[in-house]
């Protein structure tokens, strides 16, 4: 057992950020060190975000835990999950391990080509079979548009802050599905968006947050 990873996860469990056994086991199973840059491996088990290049970050472990807890039921019961701004690939691995159905699939959408390559390399260390079987896929694209071909999705995680909720993501959210997304330009709020069986949308504001913006590639790289 990795003692530093175990200590990090146990602390999140004690602080009640991790509330369920499945999220605890998943975070113990996905080694954050495999998903950070070489220069940051010494900090891999610290509870704060780390730069992964191209003005992108891997989120703090407490936010990954928080998101997985919010999406837990949808991931366990669903067959399709979408991770927008998939960056390092870390959360794609974690979301996949949460899913119980044989035909489960996680799609990560990332618009920086170098991060697409880097995340596939990261994932191949422990999840090469899932990549080959296309159970985990990393797609180069604009996250604001989602990935319609594999929808609808029972669970959607957005890892960057949108100024407003992207309509395409709402459309690709399945009935009974849940999306978690940071929203706002200055003061950001983490929102939980549920779509009921009639297609009605319910939005809850649950937490003040600070994320990199969900924007186009040029603005991310050069702004």
- The secondary structure of the chain, three-state, reads CCHHHHHHHHHHHHCCCCCCHHHHHHHHHCCHHHHCCHHHHHHCCCCCCEEEECCEEECCHHHHHHHHHHHHHHHHHCCEEEEECCCCCHHHHHHHHHCCCCCCEEEEEECCHHHHHHHHHHHHHHHHHHHHCCCEEEEECCHHHCCHHHCCEEEEEECCEECCCCHHHHHHEEEEEEEEEEECCCCEEEEEEEECCCCCEEEEEEEEECCCECCCHHHHHHC
Give CA–CA dist 202/210, Å, rounded.
Answer: 22
Give every CB contact of residue 54 below 8 A, 6+ residues apart in sequence: 112, 114, 115, 220, 221
Give CA–CA dist 61/66, Å, rounded.
Answer: 8
Average pLDDT of the segment spanning 23-49: 97
pLDDT at site 176: 98
Longest dimension (CA), the chain: 49
Active site positions, annotated: 59
Q: Is the pLDDT of residue 222 over 90?
A: no
pLDDT at site 152: 98
Q: Is the pLDDT of residue 218 over 80?
A: no
Average pLDDT of the segment spanning 127-143: 96
Task: Please state the pTM of the whole predicted model.
Answer: 0.96
Average pLDDT of the segment spanning 102-120: 96
pLDDT in tens, 63-109: 999 999 999 999 999 999 999 999 999 999 999 999 998 899 999 99
pLDDT at site 220: 72
Q: Is the pLDDT of residue 62 over 80?
A: yes
Mean pLDDT of the chain: 95
């Amino acid at each position: 057992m990795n003692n530093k990873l175990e200590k990090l996860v146990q602390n999140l469990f004690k602080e009640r950020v991790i509330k369920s056994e499945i999220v605890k086991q998943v975070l113990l199973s996905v080694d954050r060190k495999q998903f950070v840059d070489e220069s940051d491996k010494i900090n891999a088990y610290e509870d704060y975000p780390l730069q992964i290049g191209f003005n992108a970050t891997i989120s703090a472990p407490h936010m990954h835990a928080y998101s997985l807890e919010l999406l837990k039921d949808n991931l366990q019961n669903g067959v399709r999950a979408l991770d927008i701004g998939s960056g390092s690939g870390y959360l794609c691995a974690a979301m996949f391990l949460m899913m119980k159905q044989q035909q489960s699939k996680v799609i990560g959408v990332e618009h920086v080509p170098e991060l697409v390559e880097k995340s596939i390399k990261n994932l191949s260390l422990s999840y090469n079979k899932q990549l080959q079987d296309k159970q985990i896929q990393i797609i180069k694209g604009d996250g604001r548009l989602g990935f319609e071909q594999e929808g609808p999705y029972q669970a959607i995680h957005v890892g960057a802050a949108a100024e407003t909720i992207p309509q395409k993501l709402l459309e690709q959210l399945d009935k009974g599905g849940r999306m978690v997304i940071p929203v706002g330009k200055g003061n950001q709020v983490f929102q939980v968006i549920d779509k009921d069986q009639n297609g009605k949308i319910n939005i809850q504001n649950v937490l003040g947050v600070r994320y990199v913006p969900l924007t186009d590639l040029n603005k991310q790289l050069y702004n």
